[in-house]
Amino acid sequence: MSRPPALDPLFRSLRSIKGVGPQLGALLNRFFGGEGDTIALDLLMHMPTGLVDRRRMVGIAMAPPGHTSTLRLHIDRHIAPPRGRASQPHRVFAHDQTGEILLVYFRAQGNWIEKLLPVGEERFVSGTVGIFNGVKQITHPDYVVDVADFETMPLVEPVYPLTHGLTTKALTKLVRATVETLPELPEWIVPERLEQFPWPTFREAMTKVHVPKEPSDSELWGAARMRLAYDEYLAGQLALLIVRSTLVAAKGISRSFTGEITGRVESALPFELTDSQQLAITIIREDLAKPTRMSRLLQGDVGAGKTVVALMAMAAVAEGGAQSALMAPTELLAAQHLRTIQPLAEKAGLTVALLTGKQPAAERRAVLEGIASGAVNIVLGTHALFQGAVEFADLGLVVVDEQHRFGVSQRLALTDKGRHADLLVMTATPIPRTLVLTHFGDMDVSVLRDKPRGRQPIDTAVLSIGEYDRVIARLRARIEQGAQAFWVTPLVEESEVLDVVSAEDRYAALRDVFGDQVALVHGRMSAAAKQEVMDRFKANEVKILVATTVIEVGVDVPNATIMIIEHAERFGLAQLHQLRGRVGRGAQRSACLLLYKEPLSETARARLETIRDTEDGFVIAERDLDLRGQGDLLGTRQSGMPGYHLAVADVHKHLLEYAHNDARSIWRSNPGLTGPHGEALRALLYLFRKDLALPLIRAG
């Protein structure tokens, strides 16, 4: 199962390459941000974002100003700056058959320019042609080469994302050296797909992209980039299937139900289940009854009522005598789940416990004992649930709430606690199909489409912060009528210019108006302090809660009917939607106010209007995908979920479906990834850093 030796050159540290000293090495490590040293593979996967075309060789007279040209020049004379006038450039006069041109160098030291461009000789010079005082000139040419060395000038040159201190030249040289060490690898794409798309081999594709002969070689819609995008998708899909096979195909336990406990929970509910809640519960019970492991994603917009579905699943598992664990992303949410779940569960005769990282030792020990003895049926908590010390008597079901903060590897780690435990993952982010495939291809999906009955639409308005006085007057009137309000401000980095109102600023300003009806909660407070403030808000002692986005996920205060979001232009669409979902949870009509600071760009306005015009999370998610890209939607930046380097969704996403299907048929016919094709696929997984999935493949 070890890495194919053919890939060894790609996994070499760049420091082993001649010309990469400690300084450049450190710079590359920072830039590529890996854990260890940057390796050759990192360079290979570093895609150009554009290119410079130096093929224009039309002579000085025809060289268009503002564009890159390559000229064959006869060098006539040099004029160095007069002594003590370092601000003046060094000028080189040159000509060809069509005209004259000036080559200009600022702050040139020493006489290297004389050596580079010897008078009386010919050189190929490439750079951007400009005009100064009516004379054509090139300032700091990109390339100057001897006529005999013309071959060494890259006529079509990729342009890479760079960082301070890293030049295109240095990077290009390293990338080219890497491409040269790349061996021809066995083909992993299935023949039928290659018949449909006449793509180059992986090696050819990498060569075209990094050492293009013509611009189309490295264009996003060119065959080379298409192939590489497909490869990346295929690696991702295959890895997900491997994960899925360990989760699902691994033996689960076939659960049976008496209907007793679930019946009691259902009759304790103060409302009727919606049709989609009912359907989801039925399907989950079917999953639980199967001898394979459940791995299901429950999608439902904010307020769709996912918690009850989870509770019914946990109650069903309890009927067979097994335990359930529900993991929330924050202690605040875990505590909130306790408050909703505990009364209902206890009416049904179940014991519920909360386990967090910050509990007093004695309390924690008691909870751990209850979990180990089986006295506790349902445990709620944060990721602390799945750390070493926790031993379950019989863990049957793991529920993960607000899934988008957890990645595939976390999913694997937590089902490890219960070897046969079923897995239910809940997410409030409506996820478009393409993203479900890329991030949750290993899971089955249920969707809660309809919202609980009696929900009122939320009146959403977009206003400039210039209307602050009016906003305050209206807020005061609503508060006097008994309403409660959230006032959300963006997180402000200390480094940011203080043009942005922070939660502290807004809290101070609102206190001047509303006195101690206002409270503040933000991410830097301790969990206990946050909880205390939230409790006072829930108890209606606090009327206005000023908050950073800590309230983003899951917080449920039905009496809160006003959501004011300041600097709404700084939030993502998904985030705004989540925030707005904090209101409109009770029977009263709710309002959401999106306050922006002028000037507002066209796109920013379009985004705010999207939120104003629809409450459909799926519509918003699709728009968000268009406007911001997938990383933001799923919060991958924080959670380190799989991102794509080579595939660009806008151009390549149609290939995802092919990769998905191909991965499935490969996995069906060759689940051990054996034989030559299996070897090829393993190499693919290593190339795209998905090899973590490989040890999961069961022998035989």
What one-letter code names the amino acid at 360? P
Nearer to ligand ADP, 259 or 558 (CB): 558
User: Any contact of residue 429 with ligand ADP (CB under 6 A)?
Assistant: no
The residue from 52, 424, 428, 608 that contacts ligand ADP (CB under 6 A) is: 428
Nearer to Mg ion, 430 or 554 (CB): 554
Nearest-approach distance from CB 574 to Mg ion, in angstroms: 15
Nearer to ligand ADP, 42 or 266 (CB): 266
The residue from 274, 299, 356, 578 that contacts ligand ADP (CB under 6 A) is: 274
Nearest-approach distance from CB 589 to ligand ADP, in angstroms: 16
Note the residues at the interface with Mg ion (CB under 5 A).
Answer: 554
Nearer to Mg ion, 206 or 424 (CB): 424
Measured CA distances, 160 to 15, 120, 180, 271, 693 (Å)? 20, 36, 18, 58, 30
User: Any contact of residue 104 with ligand ADP (CB under 6 A)?
Assistant: no
β-bridge mates for residue 426, sequence order: 298
The residue from 300, 329, 370, 396 that contacts ligand ADP (CB under 6 A) is: 300
Closest by CA to 650, choosing from 110, 235, 221, is 221
Nearest-approach distance from CB 48 to ligand ADP, in angstroms: 43
In sequence order, which residues have a C-beta less than 8 Å from that of residue 344 and are 6 or more positions away?
265, 268, 269, 311
Q: Binding marks (x or -) toward ligand ADP, 60..99, rule CB under 6 A?
A: ----------------------------------------
Nearest-approach distance from CB 341 to ligand ADP, in angstroms: 10
User: Any contact of residue 335 with ligand ADP (CB under 6 A)?
Assistant: no
Residue with tokens 């493949």: 697
Cα–Cα distance measured from residue 346 to residue 354, given in angstroms and rounded to the nearest whole number: 14
Q: With contacts defined by CB under 6 A, name the span among 238-246, 265-273, 542-550, 663-671 that binds ligand ADP.
A: 265-273
Kind of pairing between the strands at 135-139 and 122-132: antiparallel
Classified as helix, coil or strand, 470 is helix
Q: Binding marks (x or -) toward ligand ADP, 120..139, rule CB under 6 A?
A: --------------------
CA 634 to chain centre: 5
Classified as helix, coil or strand, 161 is coil
**For the chain, how many residues are written?**
700
Q: Binding marks (x or -) toward ligand ADP, 442..461, rule CB under 6 A?
A: ----------x---------
Measured CA distances, 537 to 270, 302, 586 (Å)? 22, 20, 15
Cα–Cα distance measured from residue 561 to residue 555, given in angstroms and rounded to the nearest whole number: 13
User: Any contact of residue 305 with ligand ADP (CB under 6 A)?
Assistant: yes
Where residue 84 falls (left for φ over 0; alpha for ψ -120 to 50; beta otherwise) is left
The residue from 217, 556, 615, 662 that contacts ligand ADP (CB under 6 A) is: 556
Nearer to Mg ion, 236 or 554 (CB): 554
Could you tell which of ligand ADP, Mg ion, none binds residue 663, using a CB distance below 5 to 8 A set by kind?
none
Could you tell which of ligand ADP, Mg ion, none binds residue 300, using a CB distance below 5 to 8 A set by kind?
ligand ADP
Using CB under 6 A as the binding criterion, the count of chain residues that bind ligand ADP stands at 19
Does residue 154 contact residue 70 with C-beta atoms inside 8 Å?
Answer: no
Which DSSP helix (H) or strand (E) runs through 252? none
Could you tell which of Mg ion, ligand ADP, none binds residue 172, using a CB distance below 5 to 8 A set by kind?
none
Measured CA distances, 507 to 335, 485, 501, 516 (Å)? 25, 13, 10, 10
Sheet holding 352-355, edge to edge: 352-355, 378-381, 323-327, 395-400, 422-427, 295-300, 444-448
Which DSSP helix (H) or strand (E) runs through 66? none
User: Any contact of residue 325 with ligand ADP (CB under 6 A)?
Assistant: no
Nearer to ligand ADP, 344 or 673 (CB): 344
Residue number of the CB atom closest to ligand ADP: 305
- Residue 261: CB atoms within 10 Å: 22
Nearest-approach distance from CB 459 to Mg ion, in angstroms: 23
Q: Binding marks (x or -) toward ligand ADP, 381..420, rule CB under 6 A?
A: ----------------------------------------
CA angle 692, 696, 700 (to 5 degrees): 140
The residue from 190, 273, 463, 651 that contacts ligand ADP (CB under 6 A) is: 273
User: Any contact of residue 302 with ligand ADP (CB under 6 A)?
Assistant: yes
Nearest-approach distance from CB 195 to ligand ADP, in angstroms: 46
Cα–Cα distance measured from residue 576 to residue 573, given in angstroms and rounded to the nearest whole number: 5
Cα–Cα distance measured from residue 88 to residue 84, given in angstroms and rounded to the nearest whole number: 9
User: Any contact of residue 277 with ligand ADP (CB under 6 A)?
Assistant: yes
Nearer to Mg ion, 144 or 557 (CB): 557
Nearest-approach distance from CB 479 to ligand ADP, in angstroms: 22
Kind of pairing between the strands at 590-596 and 560-565: parallel
User: Any contact of residue 303 with ligand ADP (CB under 6 A)?
Assistant: yes
The residue from 123, 208, 404, 585 that contacts ligand ADP (CB under 6 A) is: 585
Nearer to Mg ion, 127 or 300 (CB): 300
Nearest-approach distance from CB 455 to ligand ADP, in angstroms: 8
- Residue 450: CB atoms within 10 Å: 16
Nearest-approach distance from CB 564 to ligand ADP, in angstroms: 20
Cα–Cα distance measured from residue 343 to residue 351, given in angstroms and rounded to the nearest whole number: 10
Nearest-approach distance from CB 390 to Mg ion, in angstroms: 23
Closest by CA to 162, choosing from 31, 354, 17, 284, is 31
Does residue 564 contact residue 489 with C-beta atoms inside 8 Å?
Answer: no
Cα–Cα distance measured from residue 155 to residue 639, given in angstroms and rounded to the nearest whole number: 41
Cα–Cα distance measured from residue 488 to residue 552, given in angstroms and rounded to the nearest whole number: 9
Nearer to Mg ion, 48 or 554 (CB): 554
User: Any contact of residue 538 with ligand ADP (CB under 6 A)?
Assistant: no
Which DSSP helix (H) or strand (E) runs through 446? strand 444-448
| Binding residues vs ligand ADP (CB under 6 A) | 271-274, 277, 300, 302-308, 428, 452, 554, 556, 558, 585
